[in-house]
């Protein structure tokens, strides 16, 4: 298994690196700040760090990094803070980091015309509805209004929506000989170890009543998608929701 990780210096990204390396994968990680990767990971001979910003690469450059990989795992996101100012990162450029990265990676994979489809695994959020309208839970008027406001007021949320729309509607299964994808939609992130979790086809509840999911479980599922044939065939071209099997904060109510 050979994988390229985009966003490997983030909270989930570092866990993805760790779990891939534990399975013996050959991993390349494109990161802006290599020093953000823990020393125990950088010491692993199977990890190659590529310093740079994805949006500064050409599609050809990115294709060069993807060539020979079985999977591309993208855990990119927007930082909450900017400098020492909390929450300012929500409004700082690049506003379309995730959708542009989704577009570039898709174009690079398709351009390669690999002998077998490359898996593209994208981290998104439960707050983003499946563009095909298949989510079991459908928001009411008030929640739709809140979602519309979030799209206008919160660039990272709008970015995540655009990424989901692009991969599902522009790419879909049109290039399935070269590219297969899964969009992972976790609910409320919490710290914690890998534990039992469950996967669902779509959103089950309002976004303001989150279930919890450990970051380690998110990383574990993304690794399983990369490695496990049955898991991949179950979820390819879909947008699964992932939550912890146990929800103590709700069970106490």
Query: Which residue would you say has higher pLDDT here, 134 or 86?
Result: 134
Q: What percent of the chain has pLDDT over 70?
A: 88
Domains (range + CATH), the chain: 2-251 (3.40.50.720)
Residue 84 is predicted with a pLDDT of: 52
Instruction: Assign 113 a pLDDT band (cuts: 50, 70, 90).
Output: very high
Alpha carbon distance 146, 154 (integer Å): 11
Alpha-helical regions (H) of the chain? 11-22, 39-42, 59-66, 97-112, 141-153, 155-165, 215-227, 229-235, 248-251
Find, among 203, 247, 226, the residue nearest to 73 by Cα: 226
pLDDT at 68: 98
pLDDT tens per residue, range 27-84: 999 998 999 999 999 999 999 999 999 999 999 999 999 999 999 999 997 455 444 5
pLDDT tens string 155-192? 788 899 999 999 999 999 999 999 999 999 998 889 99
Q: Which residue has the higher pLDDT, 138 or 18?
A: 18
- CA 140, CA 76: separation in Å to the nearest integer? 30
Report the distance separating Cα 118 and Cα 108, nearest Å. Answer: 11
């Amino acid at each position: 298994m050979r994988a390229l990780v985009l966003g490997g210096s983030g909270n989930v990204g570092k866990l993805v690196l760790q779990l891939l390396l534990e399975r013996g994968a050959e991993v390349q990680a494109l990161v802006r700040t290599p020093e953000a990767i823990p020393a125990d990971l950088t010491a692993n001979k199977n990890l190659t760090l590529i310093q740079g910003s994805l949006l500064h690469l050409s599609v050809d450059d990115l294709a060069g990094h993807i060539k020979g990989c079985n999977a591309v795992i993208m855990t990119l996101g927007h930082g909450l803070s900017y400098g020492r100012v909390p929450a300012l990162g929500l409004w700082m450029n690049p506003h379309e980091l995730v959708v542009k990265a989704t577009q570039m990676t898709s174009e690079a994979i398709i351009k390669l015309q690999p002998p077998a489809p490359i898996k593209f695994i994208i981290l998104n959020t439960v707050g983003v509805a499946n563009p095909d309208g298949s989510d079991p839970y459908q928001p009411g008027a008030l929640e739709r209004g809140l979602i519309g406001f979030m799209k206008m007021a919160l660039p990272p949320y709008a970015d995540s929506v655009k990424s989901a729309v692009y991969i599902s509607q522009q790419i879909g299964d049109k290039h399935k000989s070269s590219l297969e994808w899964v969009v992972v939609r976790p609910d409320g992130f919490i710290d914690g170890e890998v534990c039992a979790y469950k996967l669902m086809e779509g959103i089950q509840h309002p976004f303001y009543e989150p279930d919890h999911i450990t970051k380690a479980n998110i990383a574990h599922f993304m690794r399983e998608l990369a490695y496990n044939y049955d898991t991949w065939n179950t979820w390819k071209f879909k947008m699964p929701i992932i939550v912890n099997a146990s929800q103590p904060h709700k069970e106490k109510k």
